[in-house]
């Protein structure tokens, strides 16, 4: 018994100190494993700038004043902004055409000689752009260029010896990796927030696969850098998802490699030139992939080929699935848009398509994507016929040949009388009251000449079946 008690006391004496020692040791190890951002911030913060803008615009008398941070948020998310007076309310003697303080954002220094990158929406509509460094020096900036499609802008200040950022590699960025943001949320300069990468290649836009993080981003952070633990810029903080107007745990950054490609074009030409082939692509669903024998949902399904476009000239048809473009795999419709946009106009490339159970390679010459105004002129939205409750568009020549049609129009949307008559989106209208229809322009001309309350017979093709539908306008 005595020997046993000696053994137990010895074991207790050995175990208790060990346990007591392990608890603080484990805590100390956990503390050591937490990221330390202090040195990173000390190195990177001087490269981050505050950007404020001003514009010359007449203000409506008596319009309410709003904080410029809230204005920046409203503009960013497409909420109408009421007309504003000057920052002091605008007295009777105030020069309403003088530059008025309008909004604030963030940016970062690209080069020692004063190139600064920010978001396009930060400088959009500004007559004056002012850049403030961390040492409180302020410079009036000159806009080099801005690209609204990617939300990237480059401005220039006259300074030298500035601390430029280091550019990182987005391909090395991993989901779960620590990242931090530096910016001026609500005007609080050099504010640091941290989090992790939540997802990569998040599709929220046509041309950019965004980096999603849980880093706190608020109005004023726009245009500031997203940094990895090596102090390298991997993105530009640009958007948030919010139902309240404030940060809700989801923010998006423009990948820096995409932004740098845009910046190079802005610096060299003042604008960004993109490729275009003239298709309307959509994702391939699992059900469609199985039905057409593709096997797995991949590629971009061509819903529509625009008339007189590179796609039409290449022989591309509606229903084709584009799997590769210029040797690059196309997994989704967004991939096709980005790959085509990044292709130099005039380039002749090959694309692999899946058509009715077979793979085909088609050559295509990429055209230049026009600006928004030019696109609206070339490709107007379908004109609705209010009395009928439907909108129609032309059928391309390639589609006519494929469907063995002489003419007709495609139904783009239906409501009201057209829906009640049984018309559906995608139907082809071949004739109206026994008049053959060649295009949308003629369709509207024929409809305009008909009696308002007359019952109209439409010859409609749906799939391979042709039938008459009776439609009474306004009923």
- Mean pLDDT across 454-465: 82
Q: Give the pLDDT band of residue 101 (cuts 50, 70, 90).
A: low
Structure tokens at 446: 């024929």
254 vs 89: which has the higher pLDDT:
254
Residue 90: inside a domain = no
Give the pLDDT of residue 434.
79
Residue 459 CB neighbours (<10 A): 19
Q: Which of 44, 47, 184, 222 is catalytic?
A: 222
- Report the pLDDT averaged over residues 385-399: 77
Query: How confident is the model at residue 375, as a pLDDT?
Result: 41
Residues 75 and 62 in one domain: yes
Measured distance between the N- and C-terminal CA atoms of the chain, rounded to whole angstroms = 104
Q: What's the pLDDT tens digit per position in 170-219? A: 999 999 999 999 999 988 889 999 999 999 988 765 677 899 999 999 88
Cα angle 43, 47, 50; round to 5: 135
Apex 344 CA angle, 339 and 346, nearest 5: 120
Q: Which of 204-208, 313-317, 389-393 has the lowest mean pLDDT?
A: 204-208
For residue 409, what are the domain limits?
382-471
pLDDT tens track for 61-90: 344 455 555 555 555 544 444 444 443 344
Task: Choose the catalytic residue: 44, 47, 121, 238.
Answer: 121
Q: What per-residue confidence (pLDDT) applies to 387?
A: 61
Regarding whether 147 and 77 lie in a shared domain, the answer is yes
pLDDT at res. 201: 86
Is residue 297 pLDDT above 70, yes or no? yes
Domain-terminating residue out of 221, 247, 272:
272
| Residues 177 and 265 reside in one and the same domain | yes
pLDDT given for residue 381 in this prediction: 46
Cα dist. 348→35, 310, 312 in Å? Answer: 49, 10, 15
User: What pTM, to 2 d.p., does this model score?
Assistant: 0.63
Tell me the CA distances in angstroms from 240 to 104, 189, 217, 411, 445, one per residue in order.
16, 19, 7, 36, 46
CA atoms within 13 A on the CB side of 251: 31
CA distances from 207 to 79, 148, 151, 152 (A): 23, 11, 10, 12
Query: Is 151 designated active site?
Result: yes
Q: Is 220 one of the annotated binding-site residues?
A: yes
How many C-beta atoms surround the C-beta of residue 160 within 10 A? Answer: 8
- Would the pLDDT of 3 be above 70? no
Asked whether residue 139 falls in the same domain as residue 222, the answer is yes
Query: Does 97 carry a binding-site annotation?
Result: no
Residues 281 and 263 in one domain: no
Residue 364 shares a structural domain with residue 394: no
CATH classification of the domain holding 129: 2.40.10.120
Q: Is residue 132 part of a domain?
A: yes
Residue 18 lies in a domain: no
In the chain, % of residues over pLDDT 90: 44
Domain finish residue from 221, 256, 272: 272
Task: Looking at the structure, tell me whether residues 257 and 317 fall in a common domain.
Answer: no
Catalytic residue, chosen from 151, 189, 320, 335, is 151
pLDDT for the residue 23:
54
Q: Which residue has the higher pLDDT, 181 or 307?
A: 181
> Does residue 452 have a pLDDT over 60?
yes
- Indicate the residue among 373, 391, 410 that finishes a domain: 373
27 in a domain, yes or no? no
Structural tokens at position 24: 């603080």
Confidence at residue 74, expressed as pLDDT on a 0 to 100 scale:
52
Active site residue 427: no
- Does 30 fall in a domain? no
Q: Report yes or no on 212 lying in a domain.
A: yes
Tell me, yes or no, whether 28 lies in a domain. Answer: no
Domain shared by 287 and 265, yes or no: no
With bands split at pLDDT 50, 70 and 90, how would you rate the model's confidence at 385?
A: low
Question: Is 251 marked as a binding-site residue?
Answer: no
Q: Is 242 annotated as a binding residue?
A: no
**344, part of any domain:** yes
Q: Is 151 labeled as ligand-binding?
A: yes
**266 and 185 within one domain:** yes
Domains held by the chain: number: 3
User: What band does 446 get if pLDDT is binned at 50, 70 and 90?
Assistant: confident
Mean pLDDT for the chain? 81
- Asked if residue 237 and residue 101 are part of one domain, the reply reads yes
- 42 and 158 in a single domain? The answer is yes
CATH code of residue 432: 2.30.42.10
Write the CA distances from 399 to 302, 308, 376, integer angstroms. Answer: 12, 12, 22
CB atoms within 10 A of CB 409: 25
103 and 193 belong to one structural domain: yes
Three-class secondary structure assignment of the chain: CHHHHHHHHHHHHHHHHHHHHHHHHHHHHHHHHCCCCHHHHHHHHHHEEEEEEEECCCCCCCCCCCCHHHHHHHHHCCCCCCCCCCCCCCCCCCCCCCCEEEEEEEEEECCCCCEEEECHHHHCCCCEEEEECCCCCEEEEEEEEEECCCCEEEEECCCCCCCCCEECCHHHCCCCCEEEEEECHHHCCCEEEEEEEEEEEEECCCCCEEEEECCCCCCCCCCCEEECCCCEEEEEEEEECCCCCCCCCCEEEEEHHHHHHHHHHHHHHCCCCCEECCEEEEECCHHHHHHHCCCCCCCEEEEEECCCCHHHHHCCCCCCEEEEECCEECCCHHHHHHHHHCCCCCCEEEEEEEECCEEEEEEEECEECCCHHHHHHHCCCCEEECCCCEEEEECCHHHHHHHCCCCCEEEEEECHHHHHHCCCCCCEEEEECCEECCCHHHHHHHHHHCCCCCCEEEEEEECCEEEEEEECCCC
């Amino acid at each position: 018994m005595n020997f046993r008690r000696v053994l137990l006391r010895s074991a207790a004496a050995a175990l208790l100190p060990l346990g007591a020692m392990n608890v603080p040791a484990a805590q100390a190890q956990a503390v050591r494993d937490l990221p330390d951002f202090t040195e990173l911030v000390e190195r990177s913060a001087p490269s981050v700038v505050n950007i404020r803008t001003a514009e010359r615009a007449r203000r409506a008398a008596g319009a309410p004043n709003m904080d410029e941070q809230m204005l920046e948020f409203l503009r960013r998310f497409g909420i109408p902004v009421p007309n504003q007076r000057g920052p002091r309310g605008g007295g009777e003697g105030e020069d309403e055409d003088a530059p008025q303080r309008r909004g604030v954002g963030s940016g970062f220094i690209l080069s020692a000689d004063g190139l600064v990158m920010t978001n396009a929406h930060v400088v959009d509509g500004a007559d004056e752009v002012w850049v403030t460094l961390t040492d409180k020096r302020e410079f009036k900036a000159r806009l080099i260029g801005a690209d609204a499609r990617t939300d990237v802008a480059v401005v220039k200040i006259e300074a030298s010896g500035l601390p430029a950022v280091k550019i990182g590699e987005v391909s090395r960025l991993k989901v779960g990796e620590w990242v931090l943001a530096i910016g001026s949320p609500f005007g609080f300069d050099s504010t640091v927030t941290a989090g992790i990468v939540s997802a990569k290649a998040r599709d929220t836009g046509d041309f950019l696969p965004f980096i999603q993080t849980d880093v706190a981003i608020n109005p004023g952070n726009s245009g500031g850098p997203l940094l990895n633990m090596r102090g390298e810029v991997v993105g530009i903080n640009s958007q948030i998802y919010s139902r309240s107007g404030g940060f809700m745990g989801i923010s998006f950054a423009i990948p820096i490699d995409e932004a740098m490609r845009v910046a190079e074009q802005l610096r060299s030409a003042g604008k960004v030139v993109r490729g275009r082939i003239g298709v309307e692509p959509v994702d391939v669903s699992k059900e469609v992939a199985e039905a057409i024998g593709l096997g797995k949902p991949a590629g971009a399904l061509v819903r529509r080929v625009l008339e007189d476009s590179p796609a039409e000239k290449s022989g591309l048809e509606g229903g084709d699935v584009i799997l590769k473009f210029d040797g690059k795999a196309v997994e989704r419709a967004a991939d096709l848009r980005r790959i085509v946009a990044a292709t130099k106009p005039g380039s002749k490339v090959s694309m692999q398509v899946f058509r009715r159970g077979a793979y085909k390679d088609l050559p295509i010459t990429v055209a230049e994507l026009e600006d928004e105004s030019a696109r609206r002129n070339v490709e107007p939205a379908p004109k609705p016929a209010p009395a009928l409750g439907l909108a129609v568009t032309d059928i391309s020549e390639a589609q006519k040949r494929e469907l063995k049609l002489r003419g007709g129009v495609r139904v783009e949307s239906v409501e009201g009388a057209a829906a009640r008559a049984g018309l559906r989106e995608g139907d082809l209208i071949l004739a109206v009251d026994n008049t053959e229809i060649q295009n949308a322009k003629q369709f509207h001309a024929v409809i305009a000449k008909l009696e308002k309350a007359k019952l109209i017979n439409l010859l409609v093709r749906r799939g391979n079946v042709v039938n008459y539908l009776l439609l009474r306008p306004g009923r």
